[in-house]
Amino acid sequence: MKQEQFVTRYQHEWRQFEDWLQFRGESNDKQRGTATADLPGDETIPQRYRRLCQQLALARRRGYSPQLVERLQELMQRGHNLLYRTPRPRWQRAVQFLFADFPQVVRSQAGAMWVAFALFTVPLVGIFVLLQYKPDLIHMLLDARQIAQREQMYDPAADHLGRDSGTDWAMFGHYIMNNISIGLRTFASGLLAGVGTILVLVFNGITIGAVAGHLQQAGFGEQFWRFVVGHAPFELTGIVIAGGAGLQLGLRLLAPGRKRRIDALVEGGVIGARLCLGVAFMLLVAAFIEAFWSSIASVPMWGKLTVSGVLWTLVLVWLWRGGRGGAHAH
């Protein structure tokens, strides 16, 4: 076989293998964003690596050009380094995932994330503003019991903000279950061709906007904001990311591209699972803040806003910069 025929036959395999190397271990952020569309599945990589070794041996035996042999040798070496490197301790892999891999995966799905952001925030802000001018509309969004309960929770005379009773640890457990169930539901609903995720995002946006809008208009605003601003950076951002994970899953179901639908769905599930793992961490942090910081009534408004500003900055910088500058993803 002539070298030109050899290259034509296997060039696509080599490109796919190189894309996988960049995505799993070697990429900068820009490369990751362009390499996700046509990646081979992880389960096929050992077989592809063995084929690459055989192709390198053939190229050497047939006397193909040094440039081709060098290229295959480089791919083989990079594959060996990634597949057979010494595993790091679990805590190091966890830190690597949270501070590098997770932000990179979020950015690689930027389109879905921005759509989820719009589906969640537009209803939230819209309902909030509308209730400042049409306060009676709250009765179309919440029943009388829900309204009374929210007003009681943010009564200025209460010892704790945002809840009626319960120890900090008991509420911590409650918030964990509630937050993570919302996150998982938002993601899993993407299996309904993305429609489920859209409905969950819009519903949560309307509900949060209705509660915030009513309390602000009814004179409970300061108590409400003092409670929510602390855990909002992690909780609201986590919901949006879970929504983006669900939307990308639904998109792969509707438009698998050149892949089989089942393969595209599996790929979307893997990406979604990685995103949901990071979201679970964010919602765990949000639950901790909500239980042990948000409910403290003695901290003044300026203190709550200062902490919130710091946390928003940390979350946004983490998602924007995490994994850049040579961090490797797995």
DSSP string spanning 61-129? HTT--HHHHHHHHHHHHHHHHHHSSPPPPHHHHHHHIIIIIHHHHHHHTHHHHHHHHHHHHHHHHHHHH
CB neighbour class for 212 (10 Å; exposed up to 12, middle 13-18, buried from 19): buried
**259 Cβ contact list (under 8 Å, min separation 6):** 267
pLDDT of 296: 87
pLDDT of 78: 86
Q: Give the burial string for 30-61 (b: 16+ CB within 10 Å, else e).
A: eebbebbeebbeeeebeebbeebeebbeebee
Question: Among all chains, which residue has been given the structure tokens 């309204």?
Answer: 147
pLDDT of 148: 92
**75 Cβ contact list (under 8 Å, min separation 6):** 14, 17, 18, 21, 52
pLDDT of 31: 42
**Spatial CA neighbour of 29 closest among 329, 267, 330, 275:** 329
**Spatial CA neighbour of 327 closest among 109, 25, 81:** 25
Count Cβ atoms below 10 Å from residue 226 Cβ, excluding itself.
Answer: 23
pLDDT of 158: 65
pLDDT of 27: 45
The pTM for the full model equals 0.74
pLDDT of 41: 64
DSSP 103-120: HHHHHHTHHHHHHHHHHH
**Spatial CA neighbour of 200 closest among 254, 239, 174, 233:** 239
Q: What are the tokens at 284?
A: 């765990």
Our measurement of the distance from residue 4's CA atom to the centroid of its chain's CA atoms, rounded to an integer in Å, reads 43
**Nearest-angstrom CA–CA distance, 108 and 100:** 12
Q: How many helices (H) and strands (E) does the chain have?
A: 14, 0
Whether residue 237 contacts residue 278, with contact meaning beta carbons closer than 8 Å, is answered with no
**320 Cβ contact list (under 8 Å, min separation 6):** 103, 107
Map residue 143 onto helix, strand or coil.
coil
Neighbouring-strand partners of residue 296:
160
pLDDT of 205: 96
Q: What are the tokens at 212?
A: 């915030």
pLDDT values of the chain reduced to their tens digit, one per residue, 330 residues: 789 889 988 988 888 888 888 776 644 444 444 444 456 666 678 888 898 999 999 999 889 998 999 999 998 888 888 777 766 688 888 888 999 999 999 999 999 999 999 999 999 999 999 999 999 999 999 999 999 999 988 887 766 667 655 678 888 888 899 888 889 899 999 888 889 999 999 999 999 999 999 999 999 999 999 999 999 999 999 999 999 999 999 999 898 888 888 888 888 898 999 999 999 999 999 999 999 999 888 899 999 999 999 999 999 999 999 988 643 433
